[in-house]
Amino acid sequence: MSKLEFISADQAVCAVQSGDHIHLSSIASVPHILIEALCKRARDLRDVHFHHFHTEGPAPYGSKEFRRSFLDQGFFVGPNLRQSVQDGVADYLPAHLWESQHMYRSGVLPCDVAMVQVSEPRDGMVSLGTSVDCSIAALEVARERIAVVNPHVPFAYGDLIPIERFTALVKDNRPLFTKDYVKPSEVEMAIGKNCSELVPDGACLQMGIGSLPNAVCASLSGHRHLGLHTEMFADGALQLIRSGVIDGSRKMIDKGKVVASFLLGSQDVYDFIDNNPAVQMRDIAYTNDPWIIARNPQVVSINSATEIDLTGQVCADSIGQRIYSGTGGQLDFVRGAKMSMGGKAIIALASRTSHGESKIVPVLRPGAGVVTPRADVQWVVTEYGAVNLYGKSLQERARLLISIAHPQERENLERAARRRFGRL
């Protein structure tokens, strides 16, 4: 292979034109060197749109300073953009994560420029490392394909990219963003224990990141032969992999493999996936396709919520009208798990917020987004127990949900249920 030719970030972003739609590789692997270079050109640009999953680090493309030049329209809103979305400076593009790649591939959502970080090449191929997400689709359709080659990006197996596909190569050497392990609270440990009791040996798991998934993982230490097919994992799951609890031996597809699409964790997680054929980092079109998810038996999906009403409607992307995160892959995995032979879809949440407000409510707040419809909801878990809403009527659901609400909230919820349903 001929020697690679690199250009500066300033040179690379000269290919961006006003009106372009830019895809960014996301989470821990945002190409910040290109964003910084693009901000230098902001005076020359108008109506440049950004699309991505949630991003770690500075997000100047969503700031008031550049509002005439850039408009951020992420598929998921992280902490760095929540206030910008609330202020109307940035925007949110609702999408189930599986559909993000389909929007690009179908042309429903333009993608003129793809900006991604990649590993150093091996045999003419590079890895997208910790952030495959919908970048494969973006690279298939974009006019300009700019790669930041960074030695800190792990060479993760799965969906690899020929280095020749890129129209420009840039070097950078800054470390990826990390997220340290968060120790679960007593309430979260109780929720984790209740979830773990629904997980049989040999199950195939989907979980996210944070203290609640860490609590679930800690409660699964006595299980055997678990699998992992998920959109993301972090340090809690890594502990189960290293201890042999997760070995993938009962999976029907990708047997013995850990399958994910993006990661956010400690450096230990990134080092683990580097040059590790037991980990497959795949296109979101694969990881989040409910029909592919369902090919493994006993899939157990565990997702959270900001609130759930007495009929089972799950809000997970907003707090009332305020967008807090995004639809994510929750419904992708809820449906995949329910279609799986012996599968279970779990919504896990604390009974109350940190401010003492009930998360099980008579009705969702005005403007709240329904991420998982009541017809899709199956198991709901709090620190007070687990209930299965599948096949239950509205009145039955209300009774079950009240039984796992905080004890001090149950009387008010019962009164609200009687007013709504006439009886309980």
Distance CA 253, CA 295 (A): 7
Phi and psi, residue 276, nearest 5° = -115, 100
**Half-sphere CA count of 14, side-chain side, radius 13 A:** 8
> Which residue out of 231, 307, 383, 409 is catalytically annotated?
231
Structure-block tokens of residue 40? 């230098």
**Comparing C-alpha atoms, which of 238, 223, 123 is closest to residue 180?**
238
Strand, coil or helix: 219: helix
Q: What is the amino acid identity at position 263?
A: L
- CB distance 72 to 91 below 8 Å: yes
Strand, coil or helix: 314: strand
Look up residue 424 and give its DSSP letter.
-
How long, in residues, is the chain?
Answer: 424
Is the CA virtual torsion 261, 263, 269, 271 positive or negative?
positive
- CB distance 52 to 100 below 8 Å: no
Strands, E assignment, 55-97 = 70-74, 91-92
Residue 217: which H helix or E strand, with range? helix 211-219
Structure-block tokens of residue 57? 């680090």
Give yes or no: 231 in active site. Answer: yes
Structure-block tokens of residue 348? 């896990």
In terms of phi and psi (left: phi > 0; alpha: psi -120 to 50; beta: otherwise), the region of 169 is beta
Look up residue 409 and give its DSSP letter.
G
* Residues that are catalytic: 231
